[in-house]
Amino acid sequence: TWKRIHEARYMVGGLLLLHAATGVVLSSYLSKVPQGAADKILGIAQAFQRDERADKVNLVVGAYRDGGGSPWVLPTVREAEQRLIARGQNKEYASIVGVPAFLDRALEFAYGPGCTALSEGRVAAVQTLSGTGACRLAADFYARFLPPGTAAYVSEPTWPNHIPIFETAGLEVRKYRYLGADGRFDVEGMLEDIGQAPAGSVFVLHACAHNPTGVDPTAADWKRISDALLAAGQHILVDMAYQGFASGDARRDAAALSLLAEAGHSLAPA
């Protein structure tokens, strides 16, 4: 006797809920879904929460914390929250690319005044869910519109999520040299790897506060990197998660992006 079998998916407040079927036929595919690998970063954060020692310190997630270890919300964020509440704005749906005013301000903040590409209307923007969402959308875009077999190059080492983001999008992930055995930036190794990569590859760069090393190229290094990427005909994804947090100066932290934009690269900041 067949039972009524049903499967329902709902999006509730941005949460995907998957209901398993009451029957065994259509729901049997769930038994073949493997357990996802534990997130290394969040796994350490969870271990921190379980640790009962009073002198513990959480150095896992890149966020400001107070003396008690709780997240410290920037005063500017508090002020922005109050302004939004005071405006009494409605909750109308945004367009498919996001909130126009937010996109305009974000572009101005990232590229800065005087950016030729921005003033000439050669920059398009899409609002995403976090920096991870921005990287994933860029990866999907590259996978769809670049030739089959295009590889994405990430630094060795890099933010661990970069690799599964690009692999899940269907791109082969390769690595370029970044941190030398002496703990310093290996600019010569990176330049050599750029030159040896197939033209039209995607190079994932960190604009500032390189994750996880904290080692950034100098201004002179960035000029050489830009020249090498341009000569090799490579695409660039700039992960700029920490603008303003590396040096305390938003414009200084965006210097690499400004250099790349003015040089005329095929460029996508995230």
pLDDT tens digits, 44-59: 888 888 999 988 887 7
Task: Find, among 124, 149, 148, 122, the residue nearest to 138 by Cα.
Answer: 124
Phi and psi based region of residue 179 (left: phi greater than 0; alpha: psi -120 to 50; beta: remaining): beta
- Which class for 41: exposed (0-12), middle (13-18), buried (19 or more C-beta within 10 A)? middle
What tokens were used for 214? 């904290």
Could you report how far apart the first and last alpha carbons of the chain are, in Å? Answer: 53
Instruction: Specify the higher pLDDT residue, 117 or 14.
Output: 117
Place of tokens 């040299």: 177
Confidence band for 9, pLDDT divided at 50, 70 and 90? very low
Q: What is the pLDDT of residue 24?
A: 58
**Long-range own/partner contacts, residues 115-120 (CB < 8 A, 24 or more apart):** 115/258, 115/261, 115/262, 116/261, 116/262, 117/261, 117/262, 118/261
Q: Render pLDDT for 215-260 as a digit per residue (tens, 0 to 9).
A: 999 999 999 999 999 999 999 999 999 999 899 999 999 999 999 9
3-state DSSP assignment of residue 270: coil
Q: What is the pLDDT of residue 30?
A: 81
Q: Render pLDDT for 57-72 as a digit per residue (tens, 0 to 9).
A: 877 777 788 887 788 9
What tokens were used for 269? 């900041």
Cα angle 197, 211, 194 (rounded to 5 degrees) comes to 15
